[in-house]
Amino acid sequence: MSVSETRRSMLEKVMKEHNFQESALLEILHRAQEIYGYLSKELLMDISQSLDLPPSHVFGVATFYSLFKLTEPGEHIVTGCLGTACYVKGVEDIMQAVEKEFRVKRGETTRDRKLSLFVTRCIGACAMAPNMVVDDEVIGKATKEVAIEKIKLALKGGPRRETR
């Protein structure tokens, strides 16, 4: 599955959970940002079509709240699942190890703009907890060592992240 397919299927799941309801727009935007790292124009258009809402409304909400990021993150995106199952299985330790190793805090991008680190809530793979997502790959039953190794490999491979 490509980067865009993996993240798009996560978003689809979120929208389904909310029955594609307009009333859940804020929550959906919030989760979309967790999944993609930021809200691109294409992503906002996608959400507006999926929820059958005018683009002006979706763009209006996204630009109104300062918590939404409309600019692009680093070349690679690493996301830790901080849902309950993953938390219980120790994802916080992995996140801290990643922050230390790559000198980046969650929610931020490294100075060279190579790596952004984000957190999300349950990605629906609790049986494989703790889960980390490195670009297009969900790393189930992750350990600090494996997560760091996968991130190093991604960084060595050059820019791979698709924005959509």
132 touches ligand FES (CB under 6 A): no
Nearer to ligand FES among residue 70 and residue 125 (C-beta): 125
- Within the chain, strands assigned E span 76-81, 108-109, 115-120, 132-134, 137-139
14 touches ligand FES (CB under 6 A): no
- Over the window 66 to 85, marking each residue x when it contacts ligand FES by CB under 6 A and - when it does not, the resulting string is ---------------x-xxx
Which one of 125, 143, 146, 163 is in contact with ligand FES (CB under 6 A)?
125
Segment 79-118, which members bind ligand FES (CB under 6 A)? 81, 83-86
Cβ neighbours around 65 below 10 Å, total: 10
Please give the radius of gyration of the chain, using alpha carbons only, rounded to the nearest integer: 15
Closest CA to 4 of 34, 35, 33, 48: 35
Kindly list the residues in this chain that would bind ligand FES in the complex (CB under 6 A): 81, 83-86, 122-126, 129, 131
